[in-house]
Structure 1
Amino acid sequence: MRIEEIDKNFVPASIGDLQLHYLEVGAGSLMPRGLAWYEQDKQFCRLPQAALSSLSEGVQGLAWHTAGAQLRFKSDCLHLALQVELRGPSNMPHMPASGQSGFDLYLGSGRDKQYVKTAIPPYGADKFEQLLFSQSQAEMQEFTLNFPLYNGVKQLRLGFSPGAELCAASPQAVKNPVLFYGSSITQGGCASRPGNAYPQLLAQQLDFQCLNLGFSGNAKGEPRMAELIAGLDLAALVLDYDHNAPTPEHLEQTHYPFYSLIRARQPQLPIIMMSMPDVDLKLEAANVRRYIIEQSYKKAVAEGDKNVYMIDGFKLFGKSYRDACTVDGVHPNDLGFQRMAECLQPCLARVLRVEA
Structure 2
Amino acid sequence: MKIENHGADERIWYSPQRGPFQVSGFGWFHTERIYRRLPAVPDVYIRPEVDALANCTSGGQIRFRTNSRSVSVRVCLTAGSSMYHMPPTGECGVDAYIGGPGHWRHAGTARFQAGQVEYESSIFDSGTSEARSFLLNMPLYQGVEEIWIGLEPGAEVWAPESYDSSKKVIVYGTSITQGGCASRPGMSYTNILSRRFHLEFINLGFSGNGKGESELAVLAAQISEPACLIIDYEGNAEGTESYRQTLPRYIETYRKVHPEVPIILISRIRHGAESFKPEILEGRLARKKFQMELIRELTEAGDQNLTFVDGSDLLGDDPEEATVDGVHPTDLGFKLMTDRLEPVLRQVIGDSASAAGR
Q: TM-score, normalised on structure 2? A: 0.92
Match of 2:243 among 235, 246, 251: 251
Match of 1:340 among 337, 342, 357: 337
Deviations 1:16-50 (A, max 9, x none): 82211111221212231101101111111100112
Match of 2:23 among 20, 32, 36: 32
Match of 1:219 among 204, 210, 219: 210
Match of 2:259 among 267, 287, 291: 267
What residue number does 1:295 align with?
293
Is 2:90–2:140's contact at 8 Å kept on the other side of the alignment? yes
Match of 2:281 among 274, 277, 283: 283
State the SS of the aligned residue for 2:64: strand
Deviates more, 1:23-32 or 1:69-78: 23-32
Q: C-alpha distance in 2, partners of 1:29/1:325?
A: 39
What residue number does 2:124 align with?
133
What residue number does 2:171 align with?
180
Deviates more, 1:18-27 or 1:237-246: 18-27
Deviations 1:38-87 (A, max 9, x none): 11111111001120772001101000000000001101112211111111
State the SS of the aligned residue for 1:25: coil
Give how far 1:333 is off. 0.7
What residue number does 1:11 align with?
none
What residue number does 1:101 align with?
92
State the SS of the aligned residue for 2:99: strand
Q: C-alpha distance in 2, partners of 1:279/1:331?
A: 9
Q: C-alpha distance in 1, partners of 2:84/2:65?
A: 36
Q: C-alpha distance in 1, partners of 2:109/2:43?
A: 31
State the SS of the aligned residue for 2:24: coil
Q: C-alpha distance in 1, partners of 2:147/2:158?
A: 18
Deviations 1:184-230 (A, max 9, x none): 00000001111111111111112221100000011111111111111
Q: Map of 1:53-72 to 2, 5 A cutoff? A: 54-72=45-63
Give how far 1:179 is off. 0.6
Match of 1:151 among 142, 146, 165: 142
Deviates more, 1:105-114 or 1:20-29: 20-29
Q: C-alpha distance in 2, partners of 1:341/1:126?
A: 31
Amino acid paired to 2:336 = R
Q: State, as a whole percentage, how many aligned pairs show the same letter.
A: 35
What residue number does 2:277 align with?
none
What residue number does 1:80 align with?
71
Deviates more, 1:22-31 or 1:59-68: 22-31
State the SS of the aligned residue for 1:350: helix
Amino acid paired to 2:193 = L
Is 1:85–1:154's contact at 8 Å kept on the other side of the alignment? yes
Q: C-alpha distance in 1, partners of 2:44/2:346?
A: 36
Is 1:255–1:296's contact at 8 Å kept on the other side of the alignment? no
Aligned length: 341
What residue number does 2:3 align with?
none
Deviations 1:93-142 (A, max 9, x none): 00001111111100011111110111133122111101122222321100
Q: C-alpha distance in 2, partners of 1:291/1:249?
A: 13
Q: Map of 1:317-328 to 2, 5 A cutoff? A: 317-319=315-317, 321-328=318-325
Is 1:189–1:332's contact at 8 Å kept on the other side of the alignment? yes
Deviations 1:252-286 (A, max 9, x none): 00101111111221122110001111345131111
Q: TM-score, normalised on structure 1? A: 0.92
Provide structure 1 residue ranges, at least 5 long, that are not aligned to the other structure.
1-14
Cα RMSD between the aligned structures?
1.6
Is 1:178–1:234's contact at 8 Å kept on the other side of the alignment? yes
State the SS of the aligned residue for 2:57: coil
Q: Relative to 1, partners in 2 of residues 1:176 and 1:182: Cα closer, same or farther, differing over 3 Å?
A: same
> Are 1:242 and 2:240 counterparts?
no
Q: C-alpha distance in 2, partners of 1:78/1:325?
A: 36
Give how far 1:304 is off. 1.6
Match of 2:40 among 49, 58, 70: 49
Is 1:174–1:235's contact at 8 Å kept on the other side of the alignment? no
